[in-house]
Amino acid sequence: MAEYKFDTVKVRGGYNSREHNNSVAVPIYATAAYDFDGYDHFNRIRAGAELGYLYTRVANPTVAVLEARVAALDGGVAAIGLASGMAAVSYSILAVTGGNGRILSTKQIYGGSFDLENDLFPSLGVDFDLISHKSSPDEWEANIKEDTKAIFVESISNPGAKLLDIDALAELAHSHGIPLIVDNTFATPYLFRPLEHGADIVVYSATKGLNGHGNAIGGVIVEGKPFAWTEKKFPHFHKRHWVTRDLHDEERSFAEAFAQMPFTAYVRTTLLAYLGAALSPYDAQLILIGLETLSERVSKQIANTRKIIEYLKTREDAVSWISYPELEDSEYKPLANKYFPNGAGTVLTFGFKGNDEQLNKLLKATKIFGYQVNVGDAKSLIVNSPKTTHGELRPHELAEADIRPDTIRLSLGLEDAEDLIADLEQAFSEAGFKTIN
Ligand SMILES: Cc1ncc(COP(=O)(O)O)c(C=O)c1O
């Protein structure tokens, strides 16, 4: 599909109906296993000498369409669908480290990823150096240690929508022989394609904007053009394994057997095969349906985000600050101009001036904005991040992550902007602020 533009690929990429009984919709291959024409057939598929499927924990035709489509949308070489965004985050880190070493990341990331990096991974032999988004290039560089295996960042951070200079980070990572992994969940490939800015691996929670309808949990890892995985730093891609043996039982390394996509092959053949966070074909189809309207949804959600910001600016009595990278006073405005010409995501945060009681009233009073956590959805949400999506963080960690106690996060959906504004207006009033508009 390389010759087609984004909107064509998002509807048709990775799928040829002629290969699926002319079915116009991508069929759900609800099967655990696949029949083989004898051992030869099985062995050819196993050795990669013939395309085919062995077992749905490792690959499935419905999931494969999603993988091919997201890879094409991002300009990647290959992708792998997984059971959740957290599976995509954790598998990408396990795959790059091979089970030991360090990752350089920031404190301004999704609470689940923060917890994973802070609490679980160190006990599995992978340590993290978490620095601030605002660190200078010198500080970034100073934190790359002998055993650092990758830089991991979010292109638009959760919840604060903080941006980074991805071109510069990719250059820095490469100058140290390590890849840049970007969690592009908030942006989606419609707003930003990290591989075009030097990133090597992209991860998604497909639960969010990729799907956009909040009816499935899923994740995707996309691999860009082959990274130079050196043997010294990444021996696991060079070690010969029985699992990647050829047709004649000669052991091969991932770099040898899958030169174009060693990372994806490693995730599929080891992590997915053994740890098993497989994406269900049912959920893959829901995500594929959601993807068909990605551009249309996100562009209207951006328009709604901008209208809500204009409204919030009129509510200085209840709103102490607004954070969105496009705002004139945002420190991220230059990066928004450079990287996000079509909008800097569909999530914004603001400071609420009320006390705890008023906050509870506000959150209970909204009739359209749901009090829930799934951003990027067609349905708008309002949530107090420090107590919910980032509730895993201790008070000092919240402060270091730049998440103030008064933070309210909005994710804008596809409703009518006037109704959304009226909903906030009546909720502010229920919380004890006068009606203005
Ligand atoms: C930026 C980001 N990455 C990863 C995840 C994890 O995704 P999932 O909930 O699909 O496991 C989330 C979830 O909110 C997220 O916001």
Distance set, CA 301 to CA 144, 357, 411 (Å): 37, 30, 9
Query: Mind listing the pLDDT tens digit of every residue in the chain (437 residues)?
Result: 668 999 999 999 999 999 999 999 999 999 999 999 999 999 999 999 999 999 999 999 999 999 999 999 999 999 999 999 999 999 999 999 998 999 999 999 998 898 898 889 999 999 999 999 889 999 999 999 999 999 999 999 999 999 999 999 999 999 999 999 999 999 999 999 999 999 999 999 999 999 999 999 999 999 999 899 999 999 999 999 999 999 999 999 999 999 999 999 999 999 999 999 999 999 999 999 999 999 999 999 999 999 999 999 999 999 999 999 999 999 999 999 999 999 999 999 999 999 999 999 999 999 999 999 999 999 999 999 999 988 888 999 999 888 999 999 999 999 999 999 999 999 999 999 987 76
Q: Say whether 294-430 and 6-290 share the same fold.
A: no
Whether residue 159 is preceded by a cis peptide bond, meaning omega within 30 degrees of 0, is: yes
- pLDDT of 30: 98
Distance of alpha carbon 377 from the chain centroid: 14
CB 58 within 8 A of CB 273: yes
Find out if CATH 1.10.760.10 is the number for domain 294-430. no
- pLDDT of 437: 65
Question: What separation in Å is there between the alpha carbon of 251 and the centre of ligand 1?
Answer: 37
Find out if CATH 3.40.190.10 is the number for domain 6-290. no
**Among 185, 203, 347, 377, which is best to mutate for testing ligand 1, by the most ligand atoms less than 8 A from CB?**
185
Distance set, CA 360 to CA 371, 374, 427 (Å): 11, 19, 10
Question: What separation in Å is there between the alpha carbon of 31 and the centre of ligand 1?
Answer: 27
Annotated domain spans of the chain: 6-290, 294-430
Residues with C-beta less than 6 Å from any ligand 1 atom: 84-86, 89, 110, 112-113, 154, 158, 183, 185-186, 205, 207, 217, 219
How far apart (Å, rounded) are the C-alpha atoms in residues 335 and 341? 10
- pLDDT of 374: 96
Give 79's strand partners. 222
How far apart (Å, rounded) are the C-alpha atoms in residues 220 and 172? 25
